[in-house]
Amino acid sequence: MDQMEEIRETFFLECEELLEAMEAGLLSMNSGEADAETVNAVFRAVHSIKGGAGAFGLESLVRFAHSFETTLDEVRAARLVASEPVMRTLLKSGDVLADLVRASQANDEIDDAAHADVLAELTAHIGKEECAAEDEDATDDFVPMTIDVGDDNADADEAETSGASIAETQDSGEGLEAFEADAQDDGQQRYRIDFRPFPELYSRGNETFLLLRALTTFGEAEIQCNTDDLPLLGEVDPEGAYLSWTVLLTTESSEEDVAATFEFVQGDCELGIKLLGGGATQTQAQAQAPDMGAPGDSTVEPTAQSASSDDPLAEIPATSSTEAQAEQNDAAPDPAAKPTPPEPPAPKPASKPAAGKTAAKEAGGGPKPTVRVELDRVDRLINLVGELVINQAMLSECVMEASDNHNSNVATGLEEFKQLTREIQESVMAIRAQPVKSLFQRMSRIVREASDATGKSVELHVEGETTEVDKTVIERLADPLTHMIRNAVDHGLETPDKREANGKSARGAVLLTAAHRSGRVVIEVGDDGAGINRERVKQIAIDKGLIPEDAELTNSEIDNLLFLPGFSTASEVSDLSGRGVGMDVVKRAIQALGGRISVASTPGEGTTFSISLPLTLAVLDGMVVDVAGQTLVVPISAVIETLQPNEADLHNVCADGPTVRIRGTFVPIVDVGAQLGYRNPKSDFHDQVILLVETDDGVGTALAVDSIHDQRQVVIKGLESNYGQVRGIAAATILGDGRIALILDAEALVSNAGGAIAPAEQPLELAS
């Protein structure tokens, strides 16, 4: 039972990958870039999902996947052109399939009616005939098969007819009833089985011995081998088939069961199963013309019978229909039923399939081998490596303090140890990194849905899909990103007629990009819509009491109002983005990941939201600084340069506060000590060290600190779970000497200092 659960888990894990592959394939099909292999890969993905789903009895999933797969098969076989409507259906089907997989995984009740429309679209593309053929329940309106589906279904058809005739004979044939009463006195029946294998039977890996042995399991069997056809030794073809057998079998088993023994060798042998003792049934594995049977005998074809009952598709001719026809004639049974096997020589075996290509050598560059590891184990490893880094730093510090000789063997060894630790750490981090591709792919669905719901025609452009980000970050980005994409379509883009009136193309564009930028990952969601309506935004904020009526706000401050809790621009809550989630929730989600979000908008040209995220959540390269007796860590990724200012470069040029001139540009100074409440604001910064940090506006800001201590990697320990979020502080870390140091959030400090909307936080101190 547990094992089954485990496989189930494997199945759903695999489904995720398959769905991803399917989506990627569908998208490239949609853009017309797909080759045959892409279509094949999509087909395989859906097929595999269906296969697994069948094993777990997930019927809704199987049914849908089946129709989906059938349509894909039509496309694959070039019987159906992947036109725009077809692609639309396929994309939608992909979405439904993903939903069904997730619902199945969660054991949710599945309402088939919910995707009945998509199913109907699929069915419409497949065409009526095939649907009837595939739908087991549709026997009432059975439609004749088309030539496409081939001989197999024609056979099934035939099977059904003969199946019906069996029933008829058995119901009405008095002779048969009489016989049955007679023969089943002791419940035993006697069969005569004539069996003559063709060479194919052997070349396909079957074995007469096994078949005969299987017959003996039914009851008592007298087996006689007929060697009449054996040629002289010199003429023997080692791969030929010269022997035939006659078996007299006494058994309680039904003829069907006996015939099933030969299921795998149908078409590879001549087979006659005859019920002995009166007007018995006589059977031929190979289809027999109705007039061949002895008059008065009830003629049954066991293969057809099994085909019509157990497995409707069991009977597959191994040869094409014309060949089968020829064989039928050759293999006509002897009506007199002599004790020796039928006379006619074995039909000439069908020639080997011509397509004998050994594709084995075409081994292409397959996917790299991978190992699946539980995330917990990786996280544990990452934590341990984090501790190792701290430990190594502490050890280094102790040794350096204890010894003056920094060139000793110990010191050299420690240096190597440090390098190794770092390499281990990087490798471990890389385990968690994943390209954002999977995340971005999901967004194309969001765009599709949003564009359907709003009636706006939207195109999603994606850039930087291969950018790698920590897995947790990717997972936790899905919701905020979904919301932002919906917003972009719903609020960002204008309606098609409005766009055209403004000289834009009716089709709106949403741009989703990812890139590494100065040690962080920047993800942007942009649209080419009307831009933020600042007047309206401001008015709403005033109406909702978020800002005072007479507030003087810059454009960027107005834009940032969008992130305030309780703000929603949609005058009527639309079905789409109005799901009770505002941009404030998005912002909080991003901040929880150690990220920042900002917005830029140009009227008439569009709006772009940028999210800037750390590469990993576990460690960062930090600059250890002293401020008013406190040790703090500034993320190096934020620091552009450090400098000791000349007194001549320090100015108090305006009311905004002190500035420092760096290469001709005046940069505002942020007094870190004062910002965090460690000391009163300084007026003289000449004894301070300046850290020039990057800000989103591009100018940069100068952070003033007392001194720089060190530069090292620190393990991030979150404060949020114990402390809540503290403005200006990103997290904390443990230093080599065991002391705790706060990690600064440079950007927040800067925005706090200049025109802060939120009130300054309480000073924060840590006992050292």
Residues near other proteins, by CB under 8 A: 3, 6-7, 10-11, 13-14, 40-41, 43-44, 47-48, 50-52, 54-55, 66, 69-70, 134, 149-153, 156, 202-207, 210, 214, 263-264, 267, 311-313, 316-319, 353, 355-360, 362-364, 366
Q: Do 285 and 266 contact (CB within 8 A), yes or no?
A: yes
Q: What whole-number distance in Å separates Cα of residue 525 and Cα of residue 590?
A: 14
State in angstroms the smallest separation of the CB of 532 from other proteins: 47
State in angstroms the smallest separation of the CB of 56 from other proteins: 8
Nearer to other proteins, 363 or 758 (CB): 363
Q: Which two tokens stand for residue 41?
A: 């890969």
State in angstroms the smallest separation of the CB of 364 from other proteins: 6
Kindly provide the b/e burial profile for residues 730-764, where b requires at least 16 CB atoms within 10 angstroms of the residue's own CB: bbbbbbbeeeebbbbbbbbbbbbbeeeeeeebeeb
State in angstroms the smallest separation of the CB of 74 from other proteins: 13
At residue 392, what are phi and psi to the nearest 5 degrees?
A: -60, -40
Nearer to other proteins, 59 or 549 (CB): 59
State in angstroms the smallest separation of the CB of 3 from other proteins: 5
State in angstroms the smallest separation of the CB of 344 from other proteins: 23
At residue 684, what are phi and psi to the nearest 5 degrees?
A: -115, 125
State in angstroms the smallest separation of the CB of 380 from other proteins: 24
Nearer to other proteins, 3 or 762 (CB): 3
Amino acid in the structure at residue 676: L
Q: What whole-number distance in Å separates Cα of residue 657 and Cα of residue 752?
A: 14
Q: What whole-number distance in Å separates Cα of residue 685 and Cα of residue 17?
A: 56
Local structure of 739: helix, strand or coil: coil
Q: What is the DSSP letter of 288?
A: -
State in angstroms the smallest separation of the CB of 224 from other proteins: 23
Q: Which residues pair with 495 in a beta bridge?
A: none
State in angstroms the smallest separation of the CB of 402 from other proteins: 54
Q: 342 to each of 207, 244, 287, how far by Cα in Å?
A: 21, 10, 15
Nearer to other proteins, 312 or 700 (CB): 312
Nearer to other proteins, 233 or 354 (CB): 354
State in angstroms the smallest separation of the CB of 420 from other proteins: 35
Q: What whole-number distance in Å separates Cα of residue 334 and Cα of residue 344?
A: 9
| Nearest CA among 273, 277, 271 for reference residue 258 | 273
If phi > 0 it is left, if psi is from -120 to 50 it is alpha, else beta; for residue 210 that is alpha
Nearer to other proteins, 52 or 635 (CB): 52
Q: 751 to each of 416, 448, 543, 668, 690, how far by Cα in Å?
A: 41, 37, 25, 12, 17
Nearer to other proteins, 44 or 442 (CB): 44
Nearer to other proteins, 318 or 547 (CB): 318
Identify how many contiguous H helices and E strands the chain contains and give both numbers.
24, 23
Nearer to other proteins, 33 or 362 (CB): 362
First to last CA, the chain: 54
Nearer to other proteins, 40 or 328 (CB): 40
Local structure of 69: helix, strand or coil: helix
State in angstroms the smallest separation of the CB of 714 from other proteins: 39
State in angstroms the smallest separation of the CB of 263 from other proteins: 7
Q: Which two tokens stand for residue 671?
A: 């007094």
Nearer to other proteins, 212 or 764 (CB): 212
State in angstroms the smallest separation of the CB of 326 from other proteins: 16
Q: Do 445 and 93 contact (CB within 8 A), yes or no?
A: no
- Sequence-separated contacts (24+) of 156-162 with Cβ below 8 Å: 156/307, 156/312, 156/313, 156/315, 158/287, 158/304, 159/303, 159/304, 159/305, 159/307, 159/308, 159/312, 159/315, 160/308, 162/300, 162/301, 162/304, 162/305, 162/308
Q: 16 to each of 50, 66, 206, 457, how far by Cα in Å?
A: 13, 18, 39, 29
Say which residues have a Cβ less than 8 Å from residue 734's Cβ, sequence separation at least 6: 390, 714, 715, 717, 740, 741
Nearer to other proteins, 232 or 371 (CB): 371
Q: Which two tokens stand for residue 323?
A: 């060949």
Task: Note the helical H segments in 488-554.
Answer: 496-501, 534-543
Give the β-pairing of 458-463 and 508-517: parallel
Q: Do 307 and 313 contact (CB within 8 A), yes or no?
A: yes
State in angstroms the smallest separation of the CB of 77 from other proteins: 11
Q: What whole-number distance in Å separates Cα of residue 266 and Cα of residue 272?
A: 11
State in angstroms the smallest separation of the CB of 146 from other proteins: 13
Nearer to other proteins, 23 or 524 (CB): 23
Nearer to other proteins, 99 or 151 (CB): 151
Nearer to other proteins, 16 or 465 (CB): 16
Q: What is the DSSP letter of 291?
A: G
State in angstroms the smallest separation of the CB of 41 from other proteins: 7
Nearer to other proteins, 205 or 759 (CB): 205
